[in-house]
Structure 1
Amino acid sequence: MGAVVERHEIEVFLALAEELHFRRTSERLGLAQGRVSQTIRKLEHRLGTPLFVRTSRRVALTDVGQQLRDDLAPAYRMVEEAVARAIASGKGITGMLRVGYSSPWVGDLVIRAADTFRSRYPDCAVHIQEVQLSDPYGPLRTGALHLQITEFPVLEPDLVTGPVIFSEPRALIVPARHPLARRDAVSVEDLADTVLVSMSGDIPQYWLDHHYPRTTPAGRPVEHGATATYWQEVPTLVASGKGVSPAALRASEYHVRPGIAFVPFHDAPPIEYGLLWPVAGETARVRAFVEVVRRVGRP
């Protein structure tokens, strides 16, 4: 007889296979981190093979884990939607809507919008998850998400950009002992005297150039140094003296840690956040959620 896999084990496995990080997986699922680890260990024991390679620095899928993810993910999404359709009334705005967000303050807005959306459309379930900046449009393109709120600009022919929902002032994250940390504000021209910590991954070059410029407005070159795969790594790199990094000023409310300071820009344009969905994926559910987000407003 083959191994029997519980639905909650599949959910935990697929979440960890996407996040490749136990803490983020526990936060996404609302489970204790120890519960996530225990579930994966039990699943690996039942299947008789490791699914993940764990070290002190990273989590990665084994070949078997990759195959299991590729086999399970589409089927699991079909099960989710089938259950949602069974619960729904069969008319109106029903089914499952999967919504992504790119940062904690955007997540706060999405959660508020989802609460309002559910009260208006009780037959439509809403699933919310964070989208990593290292692969900003991958979940939309694979069908894992129906829409998301993210940093603009977005210039992708297969994606629709909706309205800008809100904008945030920019700041520069600097080491606490850096000379710029003593300033009340900095200029974009100051970037020419620094080394930038930026992001790496499947990110369009136009997006990187917008948020992590190679030159200042006056044409002075800006040196680029270390890169991060996940944005949460950026404050650590800055604190260790690897460079400085632009960010939304609001990040100072969510990513406070010793060794860094957030200094506002006095001349940088704000970061705009807007809605995004696939060209082929505009449904009644998507349109209804877009309208709710526009009414709920900024985070």
Structure 2
Amino acid sequence: MDVHVRDLRYFLAVAEELHFTRAAERLFVSQPALSKQIGRLEATLRVPLFVRDRRSVALTAAGSALVSPARDVVARWDEAQRAVADAAAAETAVLRVGMSTSVGRDLLPSAAERFAMRHPSWRIQPRQVDWGDPTAGLADGTADVALIWLPASAEPPLTSRVLVTEPRWVALPAAHRLAGNEEIAFAELLDEPFLALPQDAGAVRDHWLAMDQRAGHPVRIGATVANADETFEAITNGLGIALLSSGNAAIYRRPGIVTRPVTGLSPTLLSIAWRAGDHRAVVRDFVEACTAYRPGEGREETAP
């Protein structure tokens, strides 16, 4: 009878922990189920792999001899799974890029052009996601990579690279008392009603409310908005003001709305993100294509 890769994973967990309970917790299985599986592996190999008593677990000579080959087999199988995933993705040849509203600054066309040099048969598929999902589709698997604002969501674990660092501006009604100022100190905005992202946006919601720079001053929420269109409507109707990145100021310039630089705030960071552990070549190459972008190659639109 052949040994399954799962059996080798179980064996390695016990060999590395030398403790069945800890190994079971690591594998998210019950300790009796793990013991039963190890027993079957020993029966298949016709040799004991561990010496057990009530206080300790130790490898036998046969168990020690199996550790290195088992690691090789598991590593090769993981590599094979990644290759299969790459091949399956290559059949559809579509890389889904999540984002909130549109991304300008010429970033996406520039990245797509560089990406096409390595993967000419692939197509970039932009996917618009409302602001309630700060991962822009990475959390539910509807995006392969995403352009997001930091701080990133803790779940799922993401890896990201900063692409653009920009000052924060404010969008406010054209009739606002501060609309005529060339720039506005954040202290002058503390008591204003702010437009807030949905609660599910978490730390990104707090960032666009500048919660970390209010020194305990409470925030007034004028309305909750889930996308750019709702934001434009709310500002025009005087429901509140909204912080935004300087690179996106152009898309807010419409009748009834003005944008101004805000002093006294830290900058905002636009990044390219992907799920931690996603090692597909197409993801890596698209990330590299994005990081090759230099501000000034074009002008962009990404809200907030």
> 1:52 maps to which residue?
none
> 2:230 maps to which residue?
233
1:85 aligns with 2:91: yes
C-alpha distance in 2, partners of 1:284/1:195? 45
> 1:45 maps to which residue?
none
> 2:124 maps to which residue?
126
SS of the aligned residue for 2:151 comes to coil
Identify if the C-alpha distance between structure 1 residues 98 and 107 changes in structure 2 by more than 3 Å, giving closer, same or farther: farther
Q: Which residue identity does 1:85 align to in structure 2? A: E
What is the identity percentage for the equivalent residue pairs of Structure 1 and Structure 2? 28
C-alpha distance in 1, partners of 2:134/2:113? 24
Cα deviations by residue, 1:219-244 (Å, 9 ceiling, x for unpaired): 32221121112222112111111111
> 1:151 maps to which residue?
149
> 2:285 maps to which residue?
288
Q: Which residue identity does 2:276 align to in structure 1? A: V
Normalising by structure 1, what TM-score? 0.63
> 1:198 maps to which residue?
196
> 1:115 maps to which residue?
113
Q: Give the alignment of 1:260-299 within 5 angstroms.
A: 260-298=257-295
SS of the aligned residue for 1:253 comes to helix
> 2:60 maps to which residue?
none
SS of the aligned residue for 1:111 comes to helix
C-alpha distance in 2, partners of 1:270/1:244? 18
- 1:101: Cα distance to partner? 2.3
Paired residues in the alignment total 210
Q: Which residue identity does 2:240 align to in structure 1? A: G
For the aligned residue pairs, the C-alpha RMSD in angstroms reads: 2.4
Q: Which residue identity does 1:195 align to in structure 2? A: P
Q: Which residue identity does 1:227 align to in structure 2? A: T
1:98 to 84, 96, 99: 96
- 1:201: Cα distance to partner? 5.3
- 1:157: Cα distance to partner? 4.5
Q: Mind listing any 5+ residue stretches in structure 2 that lack a counterpart? A: 1-86
> 2:254 maps to which residue?
257
- Which deviates further from its counterpart, 154-163 or 225-234? 154-163
Q: Which residue identity does 1:150 align to in structure 2? A: I
Cα deviations by residue, 1:15-51 (Å, 9 ceiling, x for unpaired): xxxxxxxxxxxxxxxxxxxxxxxxxxxxxxxxxxxxx
- 1:281: Cα distance to partner? 2.3
C-alpha distance in 2, partners of 1:160/1:127? 20
Q: Give the alignment of 1:61-76 within 5 angstroms.
A: none
Q: Give the alignment of 1:150-229 within 5 angstroms.
A: 150-200=148-198, 202-204=200-202, 206-214=203-211, 216-229=213-226
Q: Which residue identity does 2:178 align to in structure 1? A: L
Q: Which residue identity does 1:104 align to in structure 2? A: S
Does the CA contact (< 8 Å) of 1:200 and 1:228 recur in 2?
yes
Does the CA contact (< 8 Å) of 2:193 and 2:222 recur in 1?
yes
Larger Rg: 2
Does the CA contact (< 8 Å) of 1:226 and 1:243 recur in 2?
yes
C-alpha distance in 2, partners of 1:83/1:213? 40
1:245 to 242, 245, 249: 242
